[in-house]
Structure formats: structure tokens, C-alpha cells
Homo-oligomer: A and B are copies of this chain.
Amino acid sequence: MLATVIHAARDIRVEDVPDPQLSTGGDAVVRVVAACVCGSDLWPYRGVTPTREPHRIGHEFVGVVESVGADVRQVQPGDFVIAPFYVCDGTCANCRNGVSTSCLQGSWWGGDDRVGGVADGGQGERVRVPLADGTLFVVPGPVADDEVPGLLTLSDVMGTGHHAAVSAGVGPGDSVAVVGDGAVGLCAIIAAKRLGATTIIAMSRHADRQALAREFGATHVVEERGDEGVAAVQELTGGIGADRVLECVGTKESMDQALRSARPGGMVGYVGVPNGGPELPIRQMFNRNVGVNGGVAPVRGYIGELLRDVRSGAIRPGLVFDLELPLTEAAEAYAAMDERRAVKVLLRP
């Protein structure tokens, strides 16, 4: 079968690889209907994180179950499933606490699979899914093709944006500033609106993303950064800053922007993968009682509640996909996102 392999920075290839085989009794093989490229895939693509040897890449996909191991109970061949961007058993203490990204048996697509050999990446024709019962979410009933993009966002970006909002404690009537206008930041806007925020400030400098931000519920757009960005947020929030700030980038600059855009007593919900830092300035946080909460989003636990709103059309996160390519053109998908020609690319095997 075909699958995407990263060999080095800017060297993405779609190669013929062995077909996945059931091996543990608790696993499943899924035929991928759609996969996509994540902003965090760009770190190795850009060489910011090193690629020491060629390996599978991609961690967001939806598909149809082809076969399951003898011990699988919740999933059966023919099911349309959403895979979160990680593997989890759903039963350990951390999973029960809602932190399935810290599953005691968990693993990552394309990384080591603790229970059955090297894991496939998500960008391929098929994927062997370890711990299928805990990992895969079965979408009930028939799935129309135009539902696929929306469902695919539940694999990562919509759940991750939601996690930023939940971690920040967004509630009815809140003012919320969103730092980052990538797919996660845009989904964080959807999440903030869904949770009742009434002032939603998108910090964005790209006209097309600003338009999507407004469509998703942003009430204001701030283009400024740094001190001017802070001042602009304060002006929109009675002079004190936003109740909640959603940090969806992961750089030192974006976290600084987030912390300073929060009002005293406010909370920053962060989901941007911290890229080699930053370290948080605790004295500044202490003096203003600004908290920081979040991390790698346990999206598996959010799929159920978000799925209802996606299928009803109440939220439309699938709009973040502005380019669709065949899997064989994965290299172009990476380039398009790297060069900001696309917000997010959907790949069809």
C-alpha cells in the first residue's frame, strides 16, 4: 500500500510500504477515507525538530474498519471511525480522568507502538490501530461524503481548539482572545462561541483567515502584535484584558501575547505545541493572577459531544480545509501549508 514517509526536512515521499497486519488481538485495520496535514507536522518538515531516520508521518484520519482482532468489542468491520491523533486504551486511570493523551498504554501514530510493533502513520491507505476499542470512535449510521471534512477535524484540530477553550474555562458571557489563526485557532473560535463567549477577538493578519474567523463567530479582529496587540485587546474589553485567552501557536512570542492579553485573574488555555520552550514568566503571572492550563489535547473524549454539533451543522469546522489533494501529492500538501498557501490540506488515498 501507499503511505507518506518523511526522510528529512522538506523531503516528504509517498512510498510503497507493507500492508498492515493484525497482530495483538486488540487491534484493527482501517482503510483511510481521508487524512490531513497538521501544523505540528511542519516542525519536522521545516527541520525545526530533526528527522534522524525515515519514518511514517501523519496522525489525523477517518476511515472504514476492514478487520479487527479477536478481542475487539466496540468496533467491527464496516464501521466508519474517527481516529484521534494518538492511541489510548480508554480504561486506565488517566483515561478515566479525561486525560487520554496520558494513557498508561498509549502511543503515537508513526512512533513506537508498545503493543505490537511499529505504528503506522495516519497518512496512508491503511492503518493498523492498536487498542482499537479505546482509540476508535464509531460514527453511527451512513456517512455522506460531504461530512468527511467535518468529521476529520474531530481527529485533532476541532477537539484541540475545544480543549483550549475548556482549559481556559470559557463560559457564557466571557470575553475571549484567540492567538493564532491556523486551523486550531479557527476551531478555538468555534469552541469559544459554542461555550457561550460573547466577545471573541481573533488575532489574525490574513484576510482569508479573518473572514473565516468571523464566519466562525469572531466578533472582532486584531491585527496588531506585541504591546499594540495587548492595547487593542484591552480596548475591546473595558480596559483590563480578556477573561480567557486561547493560545494556539506554541512560540515564545505567541505565549507572551496570550499572557499579556489576559485580564488580571484571567486564564490562558494553551494547545500550541511548545516548540523548544518557551519557559513561562511566573512572576508576571503571579502578580496578575493569570493562570495557564492546557496541553496536548485529549480529543478522544471530546468526539462524542462535538460530533453531534458537527452532524447537525451547528458548527462547521470542516471549512478549515481549503485544499484537497490525492495522497500521492502529500509533498505538495506540506509545501502548501508551509508556504501558507493553504490553512489545512485534506488528503484522499
The residues of A with any CB-CB pair to B shorter than 8 Å are: 93-94, 97-99, 101-102, 167, 238-240, 255, 263-265, 267, 270, 273-274, 276-283, 285-296, 298
Contacts and interface: CB of A to CB of B under 8 A. Distances in A.
Contact of A286 (B99, B264, B273): B273
Contacts of A287: 295-296
7 contacts: A93-B263, A101-B289, A270-B286, A279-B281, A280-B282, A286-B296, A291-B292
A117 B295 CA distance: 46
A198 to B, nearest CB: 16
A100 to B, nearest CB: 10
Contact of A255 (B267, B282, B298): B282
A281 B277 CA distance: 8
Chain A interface helix/strand/loop/mixed: mixed
How often does this chain occur in the complex, in copies? 2
B296 A99 contact: no
Given A265-B298, A274-B286, 14 more contacts: A94-B264, A97-B264, A99-B263, A99-B264, A99-B289, A101-B264, A102-B265, A102-B288, A167-B289, A279-B281, A280-B282, A282-B292, A289-B295, A291-B292
Contacts of A296: 286-287, 289
B282 A282 contact: no
Contacts of A270: 282, 286
Contact of A295 (B239, B281, B285): B285
A299 to B, nearest CB: 12
A298 B287 CA distance: 11
Contact of A280 (B93, B264, B288, B292): B292
The 4 closest A-B pairs by CB, nearest first: A291-B293, A102-B264, A289-B295, A99-B265
Nearest to A99: B265
Given A280-B280, A280-B292, A292-B292, A94 B263 contact: yes
A93 B295 CA distance: 30
Contacts of A167: 289, 291
A93 B270 CA distance: 25
B277 A282 contact: yes
Contacts of A265: 94, 97-99, 102, 298
A285 B102 CA distance: 12
Contacts of A281: 279
Given A274-B282, A280-B280, A282-B255, A93 B292 contact: no
Nearest to A168: B291
A26 to B, nearest CB: 22
A157 B273 CA distance: 37
A316 B255 CA distance: 41
A255 B285 CA distance: 14
B291 A294 contact: yes
A255 B288 CA distance: 18
A99 B279 CA distance: 25
B238 A93 contact: yes
Contacts of A102: 264-265, 288-289
Contacts of A98: 265
Contacts of A280: 279-280, 282, 285, 292
Contacts of A283: 274, 276-277
A294 B282 CA distance: 10
Most B C-beta atoms less than 10 A away, residue of A265, A290, A298: A265
